[in-house]
Amino acid sequence: MNKTQINAIAGELLTAEKDKAPVAPLTTRFPGITVPEAYAVQLEIIRRKVASGAVIVGKKIGLTSKAMQDMFGVREPDYGHILNTAVIPEGQPVSMGTMIQPRVESEICFVLKQGLKGPGVNVAQVLSATQGIIPSFEIIDSRIKDWKIKVQDSIADNASNAGVVLGGKITRLRDIDLRLIGLVLEKNGEIVSTAAGAAVLGNPAEAVAWLANKLAEYGVELKAGEFIMSGSLTAALSAEAGSSFKATFDHIGTVSIRFVK
């Protein structure tokens, strides 16, 4: 895939996001698209948004569970960029008019006090570099019609990121075993799922280490002050106008989100 094609696909996905009009799967129309080419599309989208004034404030990791990797036929996660324009204050309703086909994922968010540069980053280094963790929701939303995506579609579409809601409490990692952080996830006041931190690659810090090492392939490092969404502990839940979600994490607090027309 040449630069002209990569630029054209990036422009198409940006238009789909702006017009709330999803497009046919890239992997159907460009069956030979590779993972590196998909990341090239993502980076072009982010480059254009940054050129228009957006600021990169963090990264997100997806496909962190074995079940999701099996579904997509991959053996490693994927990642995307989080821009300041995607951060939604907790308590601010999310308008369905700003989305196409949103879903909600509950995640443990890492706030870095030190940078991390691969290769060779391990869990111990991630923990040492972490200022604290925050309960969070990621809103995912595909610019690909009907969520008919393969991993290349997701990567090109900035790993399907649409928004992030961070809880109001940051918890330092002293004496907290990330693997054992329990989660109770509610939709419309009813418990719909429970999980533990170990659902994310066995340890959410492993996901952050993976990201630091993966980014090294592109000469990119995680920077101090960035926040890293480490991956969903449960399956994503569909969101509709009037729906509300609350995630309660053992030791680190709660986060909530509500959708309106």
Q: What is the DSSP letter of 73?
A: T
Q: Which of 20-29, 70-79, 217-226 has the lowest mean pLDDT?
A: 70-79
Domain parsing of the chain, residue ranges:
3-260
More confident residue, 224 or 175: 224
Residue whose tokens read 């280094």: 125
* pLDDT surpassing 70 at residue 117: yes
pLDDT of 198 reads 96
Residues 6+ apart with CB under 8 A from 222: 59, 112, 115, 116, 117, 208, 211, 212, 215, 228
Can you say how many angstroms the Cα of residue 90 is from the centroid of all Cα atoms in its chain? Answer: 17
Q: Which of 63-72, 79-88, 103-112, 113-122 has the lowest mean pLDDT?
A: 63-72
Q: What is the pLDDT of residues 39-83, one digit of tens each?
A: 999 999 999 999 999 999 999 999 887 767 776 777 788 999 999
| Tokens representing residue 6 in the block | 């990569």
8 Å CB contact between 156 and 41: yes
Cα–Cα distance between 105 and 252 in angstroms, integer?
A: 17
Residues 6+ apart with CB under 8 A from 82: 56, 57, 58, 59, 60, 161, 164, 227, 229
How much is the average pLDDT of 127-140?
97
Q: How confident is the model at residue 244 (pLDDT cuts 50, 70, 90)?
A: very high
8 Å CB contact between 159 and 166: no
8 Å CB contact between 229 and 164: yes
3-260: in CATH 3.40.50.300? no
How much is the average pLDDT of 124-137?
98
